[in-house]
Amino acid sequence: MSQLFNVYPLYDIEPVRAQGSYLWDANGTRYLDLYGGHAVISVGHTHPRYVQALTDQLHKISFYSNSVHIPQQQELADKLGELSGHTDYSLFLCNSGAEANENALKLASFHTGRKGVVAFTKSFHGRTAGAVAATDNPAIVAPVNSTEHVTFLPFNGIDGLEAGITTSTCAVIVEGIQGVGGIQVATDAFLQALRNRCDETGAVLILDGVQCGYGRTGQFFSHQFSGIRADIISMAKGMGNGFPIGGILIAPEFKASYGLLGTTFGGNHLACTAAIAVLDIMREEGLIENADRLGTYLMDGIRQIGGYKDLRGRGLMIGIEYDFPVENLRHNLLFGHKQFTGVAGKHTIRLLPSLALGTDEADQFLEALSQEVHREDATVSR
């Protein structure tokens, strides 16, 4: 019998049904989902409008390649441009965040004729060749993933930008909020300094919005808080609410030509249908505003509980750092309170719930967190 390639440590849980912010396992146990499968579930599990849109499309046509007209692509581009405030940008569609960043880097290199890339400490941009080379984790960079052309500078560090970003730099790639890196929020001054230095050198500024985009922070893209304009913006995760889709928004200075970029599955009928449904739901249900409101509610509650070392994030992208390893805390939340959370490193709980999270669900988490943190405090005091 063939075996799965064993690269994932698995919890002994088998979700079989989901709705809104909840999952049910094969035994009928209900779990509160505060992680959304790595920030993927944006409008809630099995939202009726989302399910209906995909069902209707399946009865028409599910796939054909980009050799024919797929009108859903233009509808998606129009709605994405309007809701994100980027109506003058072009859209290229692909299948994942890593692929989005690959295409962003490739397009930047075509545009500038340069090779050098600047990325930042604790960055994560994906596991494919170019994206992983710009990811600050040597453990997942194979010898074939050349990193000679990549320079890593300190995240949120301004002093080294003049020397680090030069006229040999093709692209600067940065997350507005680092997810895997621990929910580290880029400062306005840092992003503005990056924009200025890229303007001075002709480098392309790529904002990786794969995890911190799509309304999660209370703006459509997290870098919009700083008032800067990105040259290319990558996105995925919450874009399809679980259906694989990614893309890049491209500033008008970049000129397209046949064959410059390409993909077999990117922008297919089902993927675009899923993404259109997500945008319609986000707009009609005010989910970007809800992310801002519920994020503030959660962070205020976490502050009242206390016991943490640092609290970071924006909207519904929250990191709670403790001065103890959080493995047991996460385990207790999952198995004791039936709540899914994530981690970033050994000391930080990471929250990435659906943008449709309600105050009742937030209160359930806060109550569970309070019990566990106070239990941890009591254990340490003994």
Q: Which pTM value belongs to this model?
A: 0.96
* Long-range Cβ pairs for the range 158-164 (8 Å, 24+): 158/189, 158/190, 158/193, 161/193, 161/194, 161/197, 162/197, 164/118
Give pLDDT, residue 186: 98
Helix, strand, or coil here: 305?
helix
Beta-bridged to residue 118, according to DSSP, are 151, 172
Looking at residue 146, its pLDDT comes to 86
**Which pLDDT band, with edges at 50, 70 and 90, does 377 fall under?**
low
- Give the span between the Cα atoms of 48 and 46, in whole angstroms: 6
Query: Across the chain, what does the average pLDDT equal?
Result: 97
200 CB neighbour count, 10 Å cutoff: 13
pLDDT of residue 357: 98
| Cα separation, 349 vs 340, whole angstroms | 11
- Residue 282 confidence (pLDDT) above 60: yes
Checking if the pLDDT of 372 tops 60, the result is yes
Question: In the prediction, which pLDDT does 382 show?
Answer: 38
Of the candidates 266, 231, 263, the residue with the CA atom closest to the CA atom of residue 246: 266
Tell which residue, 42, 20, 95, has the closest CA to residue 283: 42
Is 97 in contact with 104 (CB distance < 8 Å)? no
Per-residue confidence (pLDDT) for residue 77, from 0 to 100: 98
The mean pLDDT of 212-241, rounded to a whole number, is 98
Triad 322, 327, 328: Cα angle to 5°:
95
Alpha helices (H) in 24-157, listed in sequence order: 36-39, 48-58, 71-84, 97-112, 129-133
pLDDT, one tens digit per residue, over 307-329 is 999 999 999 999 999 999 999 99
Output the DSSP codes for 255-279: ---TTSS--SSTT-HHHHHHHHHHH
CA-based nearest residue to 215, from 273, 279, 275: 279
Q: With bands split at pLDDT 50, 70 and 90, how would you rate the model's confidence at 381?
A: very low
For residue 322, the SS3 value is coil
DSSP state of 187: P
Question: Half-sphere exposure (CA, 13 Å, Cβ side) for 372?
Answer: 25
Q: What is each CA distance from 372 to 282, 307, 376, in whole angstroms?
A: 33, 10, 6
**Does position 28 have pLDDT exceeding 90, yes or no?**
yes
Residue 238 near residue 40 (C-beta atoms within 8 A): yes
Residue 308, both tokens? 């943490």
Q: State residue 1's pLDDT score.
A: 86
Q: Which ranges constitute the DSSP H helices of the chain?
A: 36-39, 48-58, 71-84, 97-112, 129-133, 161-164, 188-201, 269-284, 287-305, 327-335, 359-381
Cα separation, 374 vs 292, in Å, equals 27
What integer pLDDT is reported at residue 192 of this predicted model?
A: 98
Place of tokens 């069902």: 55
Rounded distance, CA 128 to CA 151, Å? 18
In this predicted model, what pLDDT tens digit does every residue of 68-125 receive, in sequence order?
999 999 999 999 999 999 999 999 999 999 999 999 999 999 999 999 999 999 999 9
Looking at residues 10-24, what average pLDDT do you find? 97
- pLDDT for 375: 82
pLDDT digit string, tens, across residues 244-274: 999 999 999 999 999 999 999 999 999 999 9
Within 8 A by CB and 6+ apart from 12, the residues are none
**% of the chain at pLDDT higher than 70:** 98
Helix, strand, coil shares, percent, the chain, to 5:
40, 20, 40
- For the stretch 143-177, pLDDT in tens is 999 899 999 999 999 999 999 999 999 999 999 99
